[in-house]
């Protein structure tokens, strides 16, 4: 069983990089676990992928909870992290703490991820105090799409300093790791050197302590992917081919096979 302590130790020099991929259902989670992925993230990217929304904003707490429970049921060893959807934290502290805690208690995840800002520093401290491990997330935070768009963050000096400061404050608040999304590689390298907790990069260059990608981008299931993603397979084409072959076999009568009356 992987614990947050195991992941935390992976920021040490010479440690193996932390591998993180998203999953939104039990089938995918069991495949990722068999492949040896360290952390399975039930990302709110489910909004853009499995749920068919055009951003992560409409994703509900119940959608993440149900998908997190499915993923957690399929995993024995990897660490399962649930992403807190837009407005499920931050409106009110008691409600935020309860929403995060219920994902451990009722869905069986190991930790939560919060898209981080000023409002999550105190919340992170409180959650960690109560035994709810927190993964922080700075740089591009897609729940702020209306304010930031999807552009690279931290390209101007003042903005970069704000990101460094936010990362430091979340480490001090007790986060066990931190996602750095779509920031300059030099900034990610600096944050990785300054923090003791592992940095998990996505569009943040090669110097982080680990990397995360959205599974649909990795498998070639997505119709559009961000510029920093890499496709490691073309599963969309494979599925389309298999579905076409199935339709053709049904239509030409070659499937199902005739019954074997001798049996
Ligand atoms: O929702 C998600 O999948 C994420 C990762 C891309 C870090 O937040």
Band of pLDDT at residue 44, cut at 50, 70 and 90: very high
Query: Would you list the domain boundaries of the chain?
Result: 4-234
Residue 256: count of CB within 10 angstroms of its CB: 8
Q: Distance, CA 138 to ligand 1 centroid (Å)?
A: 11
Which helix (H) or strand (E) segment holds residue 187: the answer is: helix 185-194
Q: Distance, CA 134 to ligand 1 centroid (Å)?
A: 14
**Close Cβ partners of 39 (under 8 Å, ≥ 6 residues apart):** 2, 7, 18, 19, 20, 21, 78, 79, 80, 81, 200, 210, 212
Radius of gyration of the chain (CA): 20
Tell me what pLDDT residue 217 has. Answer: 98
Percent of the chain with pLDDT over 90: 96
Q: Distance, CA 122 to ligand 1 centroid (Å)?
A: 22
Structure confidence by residue, pLDDT tens digits, 100-126: 999 999 999 999 999 999 999 999 999
Tell me what pLDDT residue 262 has. Answer: 60
Name the 3-class secondary structure at 134. Answer: strand
What's the whole-number average pLDDT of the chain? 97
Model pTM? 0.97
Residue 186: count of CB within 10 angstroms of its CB: 11
The answer, yes or no, to whether residue 261 has pLDDT greater than 80, is: no
29-48: burial string, b at 16+ Cβ within 10 Å, e else: bbebbeeebbbbbbbbbbbb
Bigger pLDDT: 181 vs 223:
181
Mean pLDDT within 232-252:
98
Q: Please, are residues 233 and 213 in contact by the beta-carbon 8 Å criterion?
A: no
Which residues belong to the active site?
A: 181
Using a 10 angstrom Cβ sphere, with 0-12 exposed, 13-18 middle and 19 or more buried, the burial of residue 171 is buried
CATH H-level superfamily of 4-234: Phosphoenolpyruvate-binding domains (3.20.20.60)
DSSP-assigned letter for residue 109: -
CA atoms within 13 A on the CB side of 92: 4
**Close Cβ partners of 50 (under 8 Å, ≥ 6 residues apart):** 24, 25, 67
5 vs 10: CA distance, rounded Å:
9
Tell me what pLDDT residue 257 has. Answer: 93
Mean pLDDT within 37-43:
98
Structure confidence by residue, pLDDT tens digits, 10-27: 999 899 999 999 999 999
Index of the ligand 1 atom closest to the CA of residue 213: 6
Sign of CA dihedral 190, 196, 200, 206: positive
The answer, yes or no, to whether residue 263 has pLDDT greater than 70, is: no
Ligand 1 pocket by Cβ (under 6 Å): 22, 41, 43-45, 83, 179, 181, 202, 212, 214
CA atoms within 13 A on the CB side of 158: 0
**Close Cβ partners of 201 (under 8 Å, ≥ 6 residues apart):** 179, 180, 181, 188, 207, 208, 210, 211, 212
Index of the ligand 1 atom closest to the CA of residue 56: 1
């Amino acid at each position: 069983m992987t614990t947050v302590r195991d992941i935390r130790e992976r920021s040490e020099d010479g440690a193996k990089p932390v591998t993180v991929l998203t999953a939104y259902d039990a089938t995918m989670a069991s495949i990722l676990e068999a492949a040896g992925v360290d952390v399975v993230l039930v990302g709110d990217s489910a909004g853009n992928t499995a749920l068919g929304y055009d951003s992560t904003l409409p994703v509900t707490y119940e959608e993440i909870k149900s998908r997190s429970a499915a993923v957690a049921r399929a995993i024995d060893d990897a660490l399962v992290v649930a992403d807190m959807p837009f407005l499920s934290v931050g409106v009110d502290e008691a409600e935020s703490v309860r929403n995060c805690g219920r994902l451990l208690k009722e869905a069986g995840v190991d930790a939560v991820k919060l898209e981080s800002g000023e409002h999550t520093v105190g919340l992170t401290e409180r959650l960690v105090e109560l035994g709810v491990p927190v993964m922080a997330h700075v740089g591009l935070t897609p729940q702020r799409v209306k304010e930031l768009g999807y552009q690279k963050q931290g390209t101007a000096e003042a903005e970069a300093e704000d990101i460094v400061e936010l990362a430091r404050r979340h480490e001090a608040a007790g986060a066990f790791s931190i996602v750095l999304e779509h920031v300059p590689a030099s900034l990610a390298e600096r944050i990785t050197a300054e923090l003791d907790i592992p940095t998990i990069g996505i569009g943040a260059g090669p110097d982080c302590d680990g990397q995360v990608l959205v599974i649909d981008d990795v498998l070639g299931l997505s119709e559009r992917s961000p510029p920093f993603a890499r496709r490691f397979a073309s599963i969309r084409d494979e599925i389309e081919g298999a579905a076409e072959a199935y339709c053709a076999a049904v239509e030409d009568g070659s499937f199902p096979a005739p019954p074997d009356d001798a049996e």
